[in-house]
Homo-oligomer: A and B are copies of this chain.
Amino acid sequence: MTIPQAQNDDERARIALVAEKHAQARELLRRFDLDCWLTFTREGSDPLLPFVTGAEYLVGTSALMIFADGPSVAIVADYDRGQVDGVFDLVHAYGLDWREPFRDVLTDRAPGRIAINTSRDDHGIDGLTHGLWLLLRDALEPLGMTDRLVSAEEVAGRVRALKTPAEVERIRRSCDITVRIFDDLTGMLRPGLTETDVHAILVERMQAHEVGPAWEASYCPSVTTSRGVGGHTAPGLVAIEPGDALRVDFGVRHEGYCSDLQRTWYFPSATDPRPPAAIARPFEAVRDGIALAAELLAPGMSGVEVDSPVRSLLAERGFTFTHALGHQLGRLCHDGGMVLGPDNARYRDRSRGTVEAGMVFTLEPCVGPIGLEEDVLVTDRGVEFLVPPQRELIIVS
């Protein structure tokens, strides 16, 4: 069968991306003294699957093993073989049962510490279901290996969080598309449009640009006028009037990677072109908060150490935000366990993590009618904005 050229290129890009992630995983296994990273999954149950195989769905029960040393091994149902060929060194395609090849590989390779995808805090690496964990334990019991299972957090968390250059380029492309869609929107905005109208424009623009939403479609985009209700709600029939601000929280998913940006527009009143203090002051506070966050954000900082001064800056200006300053971004919109957040019961465990080079964060100390959210890459030489940040209200006259 001849494969069309485009498909061939996509396929090559997929295999190259997964090879990068496998190499990264092997290095991390050695660094954390683990022998094998096992992704044990069925019917698309594990959100790490795209990193391990480049695919989002394996139907049958699958054991995908990357070893610190020696060839990687995929045990998959025969009908899933096409998804792992070319990305694993050895592929065992079973007809009836995964257990026999699985036990053979473990007996042969005898890994001392087997890392599995389980985490109390990070949903992005907590893909192993409890039922599969029971099945796995049943299979390891006759081998006397049940005590070798440990959490893969150290490895899987970093495989998800530390972006390779190819991954950063994919996120950047999603950001670029989002900015283009925002520009399209700016040209179409006018007073009288409702939140629902703006929502419909953005949905149509996603189709035109052939991208999907970065999170659940009914909340992406989230569109709010300064007279409408706040945050994470479905858009309503509130019409924009002169003197209003418009806040849009929106991201797209393209080539498997997400953007997550917010922009704010202002519609001047007939009598005064300048925004009132109720809009100008929080805008400046949020913008300055983002600039401060970008200065602080560096490898070695904890999430709290970045969040806290920004929260104080906003508080000094009289504004409060209750959510985290920023979350990681990647294949998921809420990606990677660690957040730039406060030391409270909601965020504590995830705010205490340490920033590393290669992480991509959102910065979004948003308040009331003002939505500014930027996507940044952490490097050893400071923070890089993936697209130019918004510095001024976008005026629609």
Contacts and interface: CB of A to CB of B under 8 A. Distances in A.
B120 A131 contact: yes
Contacts of A118: 129-131, 134
A7 B322 contact: no
Contact of A234 (B7, B97, B116, B124): B7
A237 B130 contact: no
A344 interface: yes
Contact of A4 (B96, B123, B237, B334): B237
Output the residue of A131, A132, A196, A236 with the most chain B CB within 10 A: A131
Nearest to A151: B131
A45 interface: yes
A296 interface: no
Interface in A116-169: 116, 118-124, 126-135, 138
Interface in A94-115: 95-97
B123 A135 contact: no
A205 interface: no
A346 B96 contact: yes
A42 B123 contact: yes
A357 B329 CA distance: 45
A79 B45 contact: no
Contacts of A95: 322, 346
Contacts of A56: 216
A43 interface: yes
Contacts of A234: 7, 82
A319 interface: no
Contact of A97 (B3, B126, B128, B345): B345
Nearest to A134: B120
A345 B96 contact: yes
A1 interface: yes
8 contacts: A4-B196, A4-B237, A96-B345, A120-B131, A120-B135, A126-B130, A126-B132, A129-B130
Given A82-B233, A129-B130, 19 more contacts: A1-B228, A1-B236, A3-B236, A4-B237, A7-B234, A43-B123, A43-B124, A43-B332, A45-B126, A56-B216, A79-B232, A82-B234, A96-B344, A118-B130, A119-B131, A121-B131, A123-B129, A126-B129, A126-B130
